[in-house]
Amino acid sequence: MFSKTRSDDHKPYEAPRREDALTGKHRSVLHDGVTINGDWTSDGVVEFGGIIIGDLTAEAIVLTKTGKVQGNVRAHHVIVEGALTGTISAEQVVIKPQSKVAADITARILEIASGAEINGHLTIKSSERQPSGSAVE
């Protein structure tokens, strides 16, 4: 049911091409008490409050206060309220108060609330590329 392929551990998430890409997407809700040993992939919104040891990939991911992820997270939007150890690759990442994140984060937009614990490297992607030969002020 779940496979443990690691060939794309550092493959960045590619954002949907349309701004309304999340409209009409289904929503998966997994609350505390759910444990997954393996990878989870969804083409919709995932609200996760359980424990996953593996990679989590979806259009949008909400890791609730009871949620714990040990693995790589890839999505367009990621909201972290719980604990995450691994990596996050997303267009927009929101780290809420009282969350515990030990991860390398790559995002275009990053919001970190006061009270969040973060340990890792942050890479902020530019939304526009600088033309070659231009100076950055």
Is residue 48, in this structure, part of any structural domain at all?
yes
Q: Are 25 and 42 in contact (CB under 8 A)?
A: no
Answer yes or no: is 135 within a domain. no
Number of domains observed in the structure of the chain: 1
Predicted confidence (pLDDT) at residue 44 exceeds the cutoff of 60: yes
**1 lies in some domain:** no
Cβ atoms within 10 A of the Cβ of 57, count? 20
Domain presence at residue 7: no
In a domain? residue 132: no
pLDDT band at 28 (very low <50, low <70, confident <90, very high): confident
Look at residue 63 and tell me if it is in a domain. Answer: yes
The reported pLDDT for the residue numbered 32 is 85
- Is the residue at 13 inside a domain? no
Does the structure show a pLDDT above 80 at 25?
no
pLDDT at 91: 96
In this structure, is residue 49 part of a structural domain? yes
pLDDT, mean over the chain: 82
Confidence of residue 10 (pLDDT cuts 50, 70, 90): low
Spatial distance between the Cα atoms of 16 and 32, rounded to a whole number of angstroms: 29
Question: Region 102-108: what's the mean pLDDT?
Answer: 97
Closest of 103, 76, 102, 83 to residue 18, by C-alpha: 76
What single-letter DSSP state applies at residue 96?
-
In this prediction, residue 18 carries a pLDDT of 41
Taking each continuous run of H as one helix and of E as one strand, the counts in the chain are 0, 13
Q: Which domain holds residue 38?
A: 27-124
